[in-house]
Structure 1
Amino acid sequence: MAILQFLLLFLCLYPIREANAQKPNILLLMVDDLGIGDVGCYGNNTIRTPNIDRLAREGVKLTQHIAAASLCSPSRSAFLTGRYPIRTGMTGHGGNKVLMWSAVSGGLPKNETTFAKILQEQGYFTGIIGKWHLGVNCELRNDFCHHPLNHGFDYFYGTPFTLINDCEVSRPSEMHMKFKKILWFYAQVFATTLLTLVAAKIWHFINISWKIIFAFTFLGTVYFIYWYVAYAFQMYWDCILMKNFEIIEQPMDLEKKAGQIVGEVKAFINRNKEGPFLLFVSFLHIHTPHYTTKEFRGRSKHDLYGDNVEEVDSMVGEILDAIDQEGLVNNTLTYFASDHGGYLEGMEGSPHLKGSNGIYRGGKGMGGLEGGIRVPGILRWPGVIPAKTVIDRPTSLMDIFTTVTKLGGGKLPQDRIIDGKDLMPLVQGLVPNSDHKFMFHYCDEYLHAVRWQQTSSDTIWKVHYYSHKFKPEGAGACYGSKLCGCSGDQVIYHVPPLLFNLSNDPSENNPLPSDLALYNEVLQIVEEAVVHHKATLHPVPHQLNVLNNIWNPRLQLCCGTFPLCWCNKGETN
Structure 2
Amino acid sequence: MSAEACSHQCARTQPCQEAKILEDKDPRRSSVATRKMRLHLLLLSFLSAAQSHAATRPNFVLLLADDLGIGDVGCYGNKTLRTPNIDRLAGGGVKLTQHLAASPLCTPSRAAFMTGRYPVRSVLISPASGMASETLVGVFLFSASSGGLPTSEITFAKLLKDQGYATALIGKWHLGTNCHNKTDFCHHPLSHGFDYFHGIPVTNLRDCKPGEGSVFTRGIRMLVFIPLQIIAITLLTLAVLKYLGLAHVPPAVFFCLLCLAAMILGFLVCFLHYFRPLNCFLMRNHEISQQPISYDNLTQRLVADAAQFIRRNADKPFLLTLSYLQVHTALFASKDFASKSKHGVYGDAVEEMDWSVGQILNVLDELKLANNTLIYFSSDQGAHVEEVSAKGEVHGGSNGMYKGGKANNWEGGIRVPGILRWPGVIQAGLEIDEPTSNMDLFPTVAALAGAPLPEDRIIDGRDLMPLVQGRTEHSDHEFLFHYCNFYLNAVRWHPRNSTSIWKAFFFTPKFSPEGANGCFSTHVCFCYGHAVTYHRPPLLFDISKDPRERNPLSPATEPQFQEILDAIQEAVDHHTKTLKEVPNQLSLGNIVWKPWLQMCCSPSGLSCHCDHEKQARSASH
How far off is 1:100 after superposition?
1.4
Alignment pair present for 1:566 and 2:609: yes
From the superposition, tell whether residues 144 and 225 of structure 1 become closer, same or farther in structure 2 (CA, over 3 Å). Answer: farther
1:20, 1:123 within 8 Å by CA — same for their partners in 2?
A: no
CA displacement at 1:208 relative to structure 2: 7.3
1:256-290 per-residue CA deviation (whole Å, 9 max, x = no partner) reads 21110111011100001112111100011111121
Give unpaired runs (5+ residues) of structure 2: 1-51, 126-132
In the other structure, the counterpart of 2:591 is 549
Residue 125 (structure 1) aligns with: 166
- Residues 23 and 316 (structure 1), Cα distance of their counterparts in 2 relative to 1, 3 Å cut: same
Report the 3-state secondary structure (helix = DSSP H, G, I; strand = E; otherwise coil) of the residue aligned with 1:570: helix
User: Residue 174 of structure 1 corresponds to which residue in structure 2?
Assistant: 215
> Following superposition of structure 1 onto structure 2, how do residues 266-415 of structure 1 map, counting pairs within 5 Å?
266-348=307-389, 350=392, 352-366=394-408, 368-415=409-456
Q: Would you say the 8 A contact 2:513–2:521 is kept in 1?
A: no
2: CA distance, partners of 1:27 / 1:398? 16
Alignment RMSD: 2.6
Aligned counterparts of 2:598 and 2:235: Cα–Cα separation in 1: 32
Which digits, 9 at most, give the CA deviation of each residue in 1:31-64, with x for residues without a partner? 1000000000001101110000001110010011
Moved more, 44-53 or 467-476: 467-476
What is the rounded CA distance, in whole Å, between the counterparts of 1:386 and 1:132 in structure 2?
Answer: 32
The TM-score normalised by the length of structure 1 is: 0.91
Tell me what 2:62 maps to: 28
Given the alignment, which residue of 96, 99, 109 partners 1:65?
Answer: 99
- Post-superposition shift, 1:245? 0.5
Tell which deviates more after alignment, 195-204 or 250-259: 195-204
Matched, 1:78 2:119: no
Measure the CA separation in 1 of the matches of 2:254 and 2:605.
Answer: 31
The whole-number CA distance in structure 1 between the counterparts of 2:174 and 2:60 is 21
SS in 1 for 2:613: coil
Which position in structure 1 is the counterpart of 2:555?
A: 514
DSSP 3-state at the match of 1:27: strand
**Aligned residue for 1:428?**
469
Q: Could you tell me whether the CA contact under 8 Å between 1:135 and 1:146 is conserved in 2?
A: yes
Equivalent position of 1:532 in the other structure? 574
1:411: Cα distance to partner? 1.3
Structure with the higher fraction of residues in helix conformation:
2
Whichever residue aligns with residue 279 of structure 1, its letter is: L
**Are 2:85 and 1:46 aligned?**
no
Q: How does 1:147-226 map to 2 (within 5 A)?
A: 147-175=188-216, 177-190=218-231, 225-226=266-267
Aligned length: 554
How do 1:479-490 residues align onto structure 2 when only pairs under 5 Å count? 480-490=521-531
Is the 2:297–2:333 contact (alpha carbons within 8 Å) kept by the matching residues of 1? no
| Kept in 2: contact 1:26–1:332 (CA 8 A) | yes
- 1:78-99 deviations in Å (ceiling 9; x for gaps): 1001111111242433211211
Higher mean C-alpha deviation, range 390-399 or range 103-112: 103-112
Deviation of 1:563 after TM superposition, in Å, equals: 3.8
Q: Which residue of the other structure, out of 435, 457, 473, is the alignment partner of 1:416?
A: 457
Q: Distance in 1 between matches of 2:266 and 2:150?
A: 31
Instruction: Give the whole-Å Cα distance in 2 for the aligned partners of 1:41 and 1:78.
Output: 25
The equivalent residue for 2:31 is none
Separation in 2, partners of 1:43, 1:324: 27
Match of 1:457 in 2: 498
Q: Quick check: 1:479–1:490 contact (8 Å CA) kept in 2?
A: no
- Give the CA deviation at 1:224: 6.0
Q: Deviations over 1:362-403 (max 9, x none)?
A: 00011x210000000000011111111011101000000111
Comparing 412-421 with 201-210, which one deviates more in the overlay? 201-210
C-alpha distance in 2 between matches for 1:520 and 1:396 = 27
**Letter of the structure 1 residue corresponding to residue 170 of structure 2:** I
**Partner SS, residue 99 of structure 2:** strand
1:177 to partner: Cα distance: 2.7
Cα offsets for 1:92-149 (capped at 9, x unmatched) = 3321121111111111123111111111111011100001111111111121111100
CA shift for structure 1 position 304: 0.7
- Are 2:276 and 1:235 aligned? yes
1:215-271: CA deviation from partner (whole Å, max 9, x where unpaired): 888788667645642343111011101100010100111012111011101110000
| Deviation, structure 1 residue 540 | 2.1
In the other structure, the counterpart of 1:9 is none
- After TM superposition, list the pairs within 5 Å mapping 1:97-108 onto structure 2: 97-108=138-149
Question: In structure 1, how many angstroms separate the alpha carbons of the residues matched to 2:170 and 2:330?
Answer: 19
Between stretches 217-226 and 300-309, larger displacement belongs to: 217-226
> How big is each residue's C-alpha offset from its partner over 1:169-213, in whole Å with a ceiling of 9 and x where there is no partner?
121122353344432221444577689999999999769796x99
C-alpha distance in 1 between matches for 2:591 and 2:272: 15
Counterpart secondary structure, 2:288: strand
* Equivalent in the alignment of 2:121: 87
What corresponds to 2:483 in structure 1?
A: 442
Instruction: Tell me, yes or no, if the aligned pair for 2:141 and 2:203 is still in contact at 8 Å.
Output: no
Structure 1 residues 413 and 176: CA distance shift in structure 2, 3 A: farther
Q: Work out which of the two has the higher radius of gyration on C-alpha atoms and give 1 or 2.
A: 2
- Residues 116 and 459 in structure 2, CA contact (< 8 A), matched pair in contact too: yes
TM normalised by structure 2 equals 0.84
**Kept after mapping to 2: 8 A contact 1:230/1:551:** no
Structure 1 residue 335: Cα displacement: 0.4
Contact 1:47 1:306 in 2 (8 A): yes
Q: 1:195 to 1:154 in 2, by over 3 A?
A: farther
* Structure 1 residues 141 and 451: alpha-carbon distance in aligned structure 2, compared to 1, 3 A threshold: same
Question: Helix, strand or coil for the counterpart of 1:100?
Answer: coil
Amino acid at match of 2:398: S
Q: Is the alpha carbon distance of 1:242 and 1:26 closer, same or farther for their aligned partners in structure 2, counting shifts above 3 Å?
A: same
Letter in 2 for 1:260: R
For 2:514 and 2:259, the matched residues in 1 are separated by: 47
Conservation of the 8 A alpha-carbon contact between 1:344 and 1:364: yes
SS of the counterpart of 2:304? helix
* Cα displacement string for residues 296-327 of structure 1 (whole angstroms, at most 9, x for unaligned residues): 11111111111111110001001110111111
State the shift of 1:407 in Å: 1.1
Of 445-454 and 478-487, the range deviating more from structure 2: 478-487
Q: Secondary structure at the match of 1:233?
A: helix
Equivalents in 2 of 1:121, 1:176: separation in Å?
45
**In structure 2, what residue type is equivalent to 1:417?**
I
Identity of aligned residues (%): 49
Following the alignment from structure 1 to structure 2, what is the Cα–Cα distance between the partners of residues 221 and 417? Answer: 53
Q: Is the 8 A contact 2:171 2:199 kept in 1?
A: yes
Deviation at 1:422? 0.6
